[in-house]
Structure 1
Amino acid sequence: MLLLTAWFGTMLIDRASGKVLEFMPASKDAQEIAKRLLRITLGEILEEEKEMAEKAKSNGYQIEVCEPRLSNLGNYIDGKSPDLLELAEERGYTRLLLHASCLELARIKTRTALSGDKHIIQAVNAADELTKTANLLSERLHEWYGLHFPEFAEMAKEDEFVNLIANYGDRFSVASNSKLNLDPSRSVGGDISHADRDAIMAFAHSLLEIYSAKEKIEKYISERMEEIAPNLAKLAGPIIGARLIALTGGLERLATLPASAVQLLGAEKALFRHIREGESPPKYGVIFQHPLIHKSPYWQRGKIARALAGKIAIASKVDAHSGRYIGDELQEQLDKRIAEIAKKYPKEPKRLKIIEQPKVSYQKFGKGPKGKRREERKEKKKGLGKQKWFAKKGKGR
């Protein structure tokens, strides 16, 4: 007996005659059929398959299956399953129903395929856009409020500046609540009307809302990174780790990159300048924002960046495929390596003076050896001409 499951039901077929001995139909609703097909594609064994196999075995039949997922119910045989399209139409399962079920299955798979790192990518991009917007609005607020109280606009810190303007507005109230020792009566700024003050305060309130939204998104990124990539968040920090995921397009893609590529993520322009124009190669990309790198002496940064990128590559692979937490172990190994670098390179290395040769353009005569010689002869003639001119002037005197 062959136990076979199709999109329209489960059946027992006599292999010798090809007749269907027992049939358990599926629902004729497209959504239910799609859910059933999804379980089959995920490798699950359906309840009707278990029931039919147990019933056939109790009657003394030997069960054979042609799907690896059903190997626990019977002997697996490697062969093609029979064509059952005509049987489906005989039992009222039309091709239109099959088409609708496949479309619904595609919708379900699309919904379930969305991973959490996609939300992290969007959150990082949103935080970057909020930062740009906040910088533009802050610049405009400084310029606008500088018409009324320029001394405060130049000396105040950003958070104090925006908060005091949003809450008080005029310079006398702002100066009395500020930590700065400023005399508003001696300000060179002009007076403003109540309408102007209200407009500036409303603008400052909108800037505060943008700051608040950015803080909430950064908090969300930190929390989601602890869930999705805890090892990466431990090594690189949640914000830098999320930015690495955003630059590569996903955690799976980041896990495929070697440490050398992770080290230079975000420094693509500098890398291509090095390839095209021969400038110094970059040593790090966005991982430069990590305190272990940017707070260390400049001659140790490249080596620390290489060590950090190696641990980040390991952490991303574990987060993408294993799910185990080894962040503390990787951090301990990284700290040990950084201590070795600091001990081995405690002093600034001596730099050799490099004398650069003057760049000569050979575009007019070509870039080959003939063009180079022509250009050199032309420069030599110019020099000889100047010498003759000065000689003639000397003789005339």
Structure 2
Amino acid sequence: MSTFYLFEAAAGLALFQCDSVDETNVKSKQIQKQFSDFAQFAEVCHLKAFQPFISAEIALNNALAIHTGTVTQELVDFLSTNLPAVGKKSNFQIAISDKGLAAGLQQYLNLKSKMNEATAQVFRGIRTHFVDFLRNEDFKERDYIQAQLGLAHQVSRNKVKLDINREDKHVTQAISIIEQMDKDLNTLSMRIKEWYSWHFPELAKIVTDNRVFTRIVDTYGDKKNINDEALEAIEELTTDAELAKQIVEAAKISMGQDISEIDLSTLKDLCIRVLNQFEFRDNIQEYLKNKMIAIAPNLTALIGENVAAKLIAHAGSLINLAKYPASTIQILGAEKALFRALKTRGNTPKYGLLYHSTYIGRANGTDKGKISRNLANKCAIASRLDHFLIQPTEKFGVKLKDQMEQRLKFLTAGGELNKNTDIMDEVLAELKGEGLYFESEKQLTQKRQEVKESQIKKGCRRSRRRTSRITIRSSKKEEKSIQIIMIYKQYIKQKCYSQFNLCF
């Protein structure tokens, strides 16, 4: 039985015929040495047909099709013209290097494919001596390397361009920037407190918020300016009347040393830069919130945008997070503690990044593990809903959040708990009632087209109503003007008749 080898290269499609290959001893050193030499390998395997790609677009489509396991029309035509006729008495088989092509070849060409360790070794020899086989085709190694490089660049661009989860990359960068800015702002704020404490040491103990402290230093500078006259302005900065009074009283009896104008101006410049960083951090936080509502609305409604973004960033993407089981999500971010516990045979961690959520902080010490396990379960459900839903909605996340609140009450006071199936059925019933339930993307596109058509019809009706109103108003005005003219004519006639009678 003859064996044909289908080799998909960057330059084109090639078909090799190798009949005298000893598959039982293919791993032996003698056979591998034979495969490493082109002259000996050409005796065993020879090139039957080669079809180069005409354009780079065809090469890209072929590479993407092979990656997804689909058979292109070029491949079907190439194999049907160069292989023997397929029938009941056909005595050949085709070896492939990609498992995904097996089903397509069986469906379109009724070919039985072959793939094992022996064929892998033969493909390795073909890949090594492929340029030597194409010497007669005026094909050089430089051309083959250039074709490989160009195809690799095109495939990379296509994958980046068609990446469904490319929005996750922005979320990852945004949460990373927020975490880095929080560290930098804390460091700079502590530096401002230490610097200003030489002049007004009591202020750092009274005002604990870094942003408010920086505003007070930037606004007033010298503690002599903090007096009774500035009490109302300080209340606006601190939004607390008692705190403002404490600041004014502390400024009167402060034990700090005096500060020069040069030092104060430099400190104020630093305060201005830190306040700008605070505003920039708020803008990024708002951007992250809007982005997370669009990408993962259910996960955001459940645990908030910051914790949800940290989970997505740690997992790599929303798809990876949706693939994780609840047990993995529970300890996500505590890998070092987990492996340390496994190594020392200690207690494993109960939570990782989920510790930053409000649920674990509100739970009792003995119930934190239960709440984290339950929360990880809800996060797994929410992430899968966000990834697989055709029309994203946050209603599932709101219901899951209510379920977590019930769990907290149940652990403290007891009560009834809703099941996940009941909650899903409620949300699905709401979506069906509102006309937002779609089983496929076709239904969604049809619904959007219907909405557009209805809006166009409404616009046409409104324009018709406006034109009819305008015509009615104009007709009424014309009737009034005609009536006025007729009355005026009658008046003139009567007046003329009366004058005529008087004259005669």
Give the structure-1-normalised TM-score.
0.64
CA distance in 1, matches of 2:383, 2:365: 27
CA distance in 2, matches of 1:105, 1:320: 31
CA distance in 2, matches of 1:253, 1:71: 32
The correspondence of residues 136-285 of structure 1 with structure 2, limited to 5 A, is 136-156=187-207, 157-173=209-225, 176=230, 177-179=233-235, 180-181=244-245, 182-183=248-249, 184-268=251-335, 271=338, 282-285=349-352
- Aligned partners of 1:300 and 1:342 also within 8 Å: no
Pair 318,63 (structure 1): closer, same or farther in 2 beyond 3 Å: farther
- Aligned partners of 1:265 and 1:286 also within 8 Å: yes
Shift of 1:273: 6.6
**What is the DSSP-based 3-state SS (H/G/I as helix, E as strand, rest coil) of the residue aligned with 1:187?**
coil
* 1:104 pairs with 2:156: no
Residue identity matched to 2:223? R
- Identical residues among aligned pairs (%): 28
Residue identity matched to 1:123? A
CA distance in 1, matches of 2:103, 2:339: 50
CA distance in 1, matches of 2:296, 2:406: 26
Shift of 1:135: 1.0
CA distance in 2, matches of 1:107, 1:75: 32
Pair 336,126 (structure 1): closer, same or farther in 2 beyond 3 Å: closer
Which digits, 9 at most, give the CA deviation of each residue in 1:231-279, with x for residues without a partner? Answer: 4333332211121233344444433433223223334565567657777
Higher helix share: 2
Residue identity matched to 1:212? E
Q: Which runs of 5+ in 2 are unaligned?
A: 1-6, 15-47, 88-93, 115-122, 236-243, 415-504
Aligned to 2:402: 335
Pair 235,40 (structure 1): closer, same or farther in 2 beyond 3 Å: same
Which digits, 9 at most, give the CA deviation of each residue in 1:54-97, with x for residues without a partner? Answer: xx9xxxxx9999967977995353459x9996896656554322
Segment of structure 1 superposing worse, 84-93 or 231-240: 84-93
* 1:26 pairs with 2:54: yes
CA distance in 2, matches of 1:315, 1:215: 26
Tell me which of 183, 190, 204 is aligned to 1:132: 183
- Aligned partners of 1:7 and 1:37 also within 8 Å: no
Pair 104,68 (structure 1): closer, same or farther in 2 beyond 3 Å: same
CA distance in 1, matches of 2:199, 2:378: 53
Which digits, 9 at most, give the CA deviation of each residue in 1:140-171, with x for residues without a partner? Answer: 10011112222333322322221232344333
Shift of 1:24: 8.5
Shift of 1:201: 0.8
Q: Which has the larger radius of gyration?
A: 2
Shift of 1:327: 5.0
**What is the DSSP-based 3-state SS (H/G/I as helix, E as strand, rest coil) of the residue aligned with 2:221?**
coil
Pair 210,334 (structure 1): closer, same or farther in 2 beyond 3 Å: closer
Give the structure-2-normalised TM-score.
0.52
Q: Which runs of 5+ in 1 are unaligned?
A: 12-17, 57-61, 348-397
Pair 345,228 (structure 1): closer, same or farther in 2 beyond 3 Å: same
Pair 95,37 (structure 1): closer, same or farther in 2 beyond 3 Å: farther
- Aligned partners of 2:64 and 2:155 also within 8 Å: no
Let me know the Cα RMSD of the aligned residues: 4.7
Residue identity matched to 1:254? L
Pair 194,295 (structure 1): closer, same or farther in 2 beyond 3 Å: same
CA distance in 1, matches of 2:379, 2:397: 9
**What is the DSSP-based 3-state SS (H/G/I as helix, E as strand, rest coil) of the residue aligned with 2:413?**
coil
Pair 173,106 (structure 1): closer, same or farther in 2 beyond 3 Å: farther
CA distance in 2, matches of 1:343, 1:283: 20
Residue identity matched to 2:354? I
- Aligned partners of 1:240 and 1:290 also within 8 Å: yes
Residue identity matched to 2:179? D
CA distance in 2, matches of 1:333, 1:131: 30
Residue identity matched to 1:162? T
**What is the DSSP-based 3-state SS (H/G/I as helix, E as strand, rest coil) of the residue aligned with 1:178?**
helix
* 1:292 pairs with 2:355: no
Shift of 1:204: 1.1
CA distance in 1, matches of 2:102, 2:290: 40
- Aligned partners of 1:134 and 1:207 also within 8 Å: yes
Shift of 1:5: 8.7
Residue identity matched to 2:174? A
